[in-house]
Amino acid sequence: MILNTYRGQVVWLVGASSGIGAALAKVLSQRGARLALSGRRVEALQDLCASLGPDRHRVFPLDVSDPAATQTVAHSIKTTMGSMDRVIFMAAGYDPMRLSALDIPLTHQIVTTNLMGAFYLIQAALPFLRESHGQIALCGSVAGYMGLPEGQPYSATKAAIINLAESLHAEEGHHCDVKLISPGFVRTPLTDKNNFSMPMIIEPDQAALAIADGLLSKRFEIHFPKRFTFFLKFLRALPYALSLKITSRMKG
């Protein structure tokens, strides 16, 4: 597999119906990829596919929290489109809440989609990616760098995604290219739920360009915007005596 181009490659994009996923689909289509578009919002996926050119792309509806359905869709993509060169996991649920006021059913739903969905996708796609020496990219978040107020349960799942991507690279890096995507704040339906100021927030098309370029690079982690992500990386590197004092002051 040639990793420095998208032209003619089959890219399975999970979480393509809105936000960064939809914006990324447009960029990858412009760069010549053949897209397998997955997500729960079928009508939105069909509209996206029609706008990009349905002759080259296909819609494969999927709730990634369903392991059997994820297996079925993976096999359908391989059979229908002939190969599987890249898999990008962008699916996510988000609702900010404090630990003292957890909505347990909603927490379970977010954890199942964000984390178990990634496990299900890896299990389904890995045999095909090994065959093609392809690429798998998991979308974490800078919210996973460290625990912040009102970040749960989303932040915990993203911290787990970071760990999962690192383990996947350690185990499978010689078979396929593994990438971790770590966005900062991006203006999407998910971040619209926030009632606080989001520093250095960017638009989905900016995020999509950063991801599309980063997937062709040799770097393991694609993080952006750099001024914001480097600050959080620095904060994470501080001793707990300092970093926890700073984060405790962030409470509303």
- The SS3 assignment for 117 reads helix
pLDDT in tens, 125-142: 999 999 999 999 999 999
C-alpha to C-alpha distance for 139 and 115, rounded to whole angstroms: 10
Give the domain ranges of the chain: 10-248
The pLDDT confidence band at residue 251, using thresholds 50, 70 and 90, is low
The per-residue pLDDT for 3 is: 65
Please name which of 8, 24, 55, 7 lies closest in space to residue 222, comparing C-alpha atoms. 24
Using CA atoms, how far residue 4 sits from 126, 134, 213, in Å, is: 20, 12, 9
Architecture per CATH, 10-248: 3-Layer(aba) Sandwich (3.40)
The per-residue pLDDT for 148 is: 82
Is residue 19 predicted with pLDDT exceeding 80? yes
C-alpha to C-alpha distance for 144 and 140, rounded to whole angstroms: 7
Is residue 226 predicted with pLDDT exceeding 80? yes
Q: What is the mean pLDDT of residues 228-246?
A: 92
- Reported pTM: 0.94
- The SS3 assignment for 9 reads coil
DSSP string, 167-197: HHHHHHTTTSEEEEEEE--B-STTGGG--S-
Q: Name, of 61-75, 94-108, 192-206, the range with top average pLDDT.
A: 61-75
